[in-house]
Structure 1
Amino acid sequence: MEDMSYWKEVWERKGNGNTTCLEELDGYEDTTADVKEIAKQIVKELDIKETDRILEVACGAGGLAQYIKCGEYVGVDYSSSLVKRHIELLNNSVLHGEANNLIFKDKTFDKVFCFGAFHYFPNQEYAKQAISELKRVAKEAIFIGDLPMTSHRKEHLLYDKNDFKDWKITDGYYNPCRFNVSLKLV
């Protein structure tokens, strides 16, 4: 899939719906994902401290954010309706933007993470640009989670663990056909 119009429409529609359930807004309603446990694992993997400045890329309506305790949380998402819902429901600082073109200065955040979004990207070039941006705005570490090796949907972008040789690779948190990667920058 070379553009994201299909997925943008899906996420805009979700954000414009009537539910206030964060898991449903963020697309976990038909999965076995335990969002609270996923957030706990990300906090552990990145060693997020209560003084850290954290950026979540592709934050959606805040399903994970509700469980992240840190000094300052900022979220970015390409769905304007989900950004609006996130702010309404959690009162976090959330901006509308693309993962491959973050508006922040270099090394603005202690730690940066993105979970459950890379398979919605249009192509590998976009994914590489997004990884570059995550690295650019992070001081200490980045985490990318839920990267699919196979999928039941032809619209999902797939990944290969061999493309992350310099990264720490861990098994997916709820799906054995997915994996996570993290990278310490200091």
Structure 2
Amino acid sequence: MEDMSYWKEVWERKGNGNTNSLEELDGYEDTTADVKEIARQIVEQMDIKETDKILEVACGAGGLAQYIKCGEYVGVDYSSSLVKRHIELLNNSVLHGEANDLIFKDKTFDKVICFGAFHYFPNHEYSKQAIAELKRVAKEAIFIGDLPVTSHRKEHLLYDKKDFGEWEVIDGYYNPSRFNVYLKL
């Protein structure tokens, strides 16, 4: 998949739907994912404090955000309808934007999270650009989660643990064919 038009259409449709379920809006309705538990594990892994300034890239409607207690939360998503729903449902600061072209200044956020989005990227070059952007805007740590090694969908971009040499590799939180990576800066 060399562009994201297929996935953009999926996420815009979800955001424009009738549900207020954050799990459904963020695409977890047909999975075994426990979003509250995933958020707890990310908070623990990253040692997120109530004084931290957090950026969540690909934040969707706020499924994880609802469980992250921090000093300042900012979200970014490429789906304008999910950005709108996130603001309506959680009243967070959320902006429309791309993971590979963040509008923030260098070292703006203490910690940066991107969970459940990398398999929707169009190609590995976009992923590399996104990682460079996450590193640029983070001061202390970065967490990228839910990276698939295999998938039931041909549209999903797949990853190899060995491509994250400097990162700590962590088993997937709910799916054994996925993994997470963590980088302390």
Shorter-chain TM-score range = over 0.9
The Cα shift of 1:158 comes to 0.2
Question: 2: distance between equivalents of 1:15 and 1:62?
Answer: 11
Show the counterpart of 2:152.
152
Show the counterpart of 1:76.
76
Q: Deviations over 1:9-32 (max 9, x none)?
A: 000000000000000000000000
Question: 2: distance between equivalents of 1:179 and 1:84?
Answer: 29
Flag as ranges the 4+ runs of structure 1 deviating above 6 A: none
Structure 2: which amino acid aligns with 1:71?
A: G
Question: 2: distance between equivalents of 1:63 and 1:75?
Answer: 11
Residue 135 of structure 1 aligns to a residue whose secondary structure is helix
Question: 2: distance between equivalents of 1:176 and 1:86?
Answer: 29
Structure 2: which amino acid aligns with 1:12?
A: E
With normalisation by structure 1, the TM-score equals: 0.99
Show the counterpart of 2:45.
45
The Cα shift of 1:165 comes to 1.1
Structure 1: which amino acid aligns with 2:133?
A: E
Show the counterpart of 1:4.
4
The percentage of counterpart residues that share the same residue type is: 89
RMSD: 0.3
The Cα shift of 1:91 comes to 0.1
Residue 13 of structure 1 aligns to a residue whose secondary structure is helix
Show the counterpart of 2:181.
181
Question: 1: distance between equivalents of 2:166 and 2:53?
Answer: 24
Residue 181 of structure 2 aligns to a residue whose secondary structure is strand
Show the counterpart of 1:35.
35
Structure 1: which amino acid aligns with 2:92?
A: N
Q: Deviations over 1:15-51 (max 9, x none)?
A: 0000000000000000000000000000011110000
Q: State whether structure 2 residue 22 is matched by structure 1 residue 25.
A: no
Structure 1: which amino acid aligns with 2:128?
A: K
Name the count of aligned residue pairs.
185
Unaligned runs of 5+ in 2: none
Show the counterpart of 1:100.
100
Show the counterpart of 2:13.
13
The Cα shift of 1:167 comes to 0.6
Question: 2: distance between equivalents of 1:113 and 1:63?
Answer: 13
With normalisation by structure 2, the TM-score equals: 1.00
Q: Deviations over 1:23-82 (max 9, x none)?
A: 000000000000000000000111100000000000000000000000000000000000
Structure 2: which amino acid aligns with 1:160?
A: D
Question: 2: distance between equivalents of 1:182 and 1:100?
Answer: 18
Question: 2: distance between equivalents of 1:165 and 1:106?
Answer: 23
